[in-house]
Amino acid sequence: MTAPVIRDAGPADRDDWLRLWQGYLEFYGTALDDAVTAMTWNRIIDPVSAVFTRLALVDDTVAGFATCILHPRTWAVEPACYLEDLFVDPARRGSGIGRALIDDLIAIGRRDGWTNLYWHTNADNAQARRLYDSYNKADGFVRYRLPLQK
């Protein structure tokens, strides 16, 4: 397979992103209000927002995305990058697209001086963890999460 082209998502990518986004929500067995999806997309394409998305294209077709939030830290002057959503078209998995998306973020982070790139995953997401374990060991932190809305 030719190496994917990785680039920022822009306004013209909405329909391609939406197709993958719906697949991502299905993967997690969830659904979101259309208003939430619309807001997320607007944040992605807003250059002032801390949310950004990198798209992976294979043969000019959008095949995966990584959506991140760049945020300030209390322990460093430079920001850290939280990789919130990573998804590859099921028909394209296992061909290096997920790795290319993470490698791209690492390259941007090194260039721009982020202190680190980090993410969470379910402990039993074996396919994702095979990829993640090739970068580093999980750091042992345990997440506590308190739902605050009924």
Ligand X SMILES: CC(C)(COP(=O)(O)OP(=O)(O)OC[C@H]1O[C@@H](n2cnc3c(N)ncnc32)[C@H](O)[C@@H]1OP(=O)(O)O)[C@@H](O)C(=O)NCCC(=O)NCCS
* Residues in touch with ligand X (CB under 6 A): 27, 86-88, 93-99, 121, 125, 127-128, 130-131
Q: Smallest distance from the beta carbon of 96 to ligand X, in angstroms?
A: 4
Q: Smallest distance from the beta carbon of 130 to ligand X, in angstroms?
A: 4
Identify which of residues 22 and 127 has a Cβ nearer to ligand X in the complex. 127
Identify which of residues 14 and 99 has a Cβ nearer to ligand X in the complex. 99
Q: Smallest distance from the beta carbon of 44 to ligand X, in angstroms?
A: 17
Identify which of residues 70 and 89 has a Cβ nearer to ligand X in the complex. 89
| Strand ranges for 13-150 from DSSP E | 51-58, 61-71, 80-88, 117-118
- Closest by CA position to 101, among listed 139, 136, 127, 63: 63
Cβ burial 28-60 (10 Å sphere, 16+ → b, else e): eeeeeeeeebeebbebbbeeeeebbbbbbbbee
CB atoms under 10 Å from CB of 89, counted, come to: 17
Q: How far apart are CA 106 and CA 23, in angstroms?
A: 25
34: tokens are 């259309």
Q: Which residue is nearest to ligand X (CB)?
A: 98
Identify which of residues 52 and 65 has a Cβ nearer to ligand X in the complex. 65
Q: Smallest distance from the beta carbon of 51 to ligand X, in angstroms?
A: 17
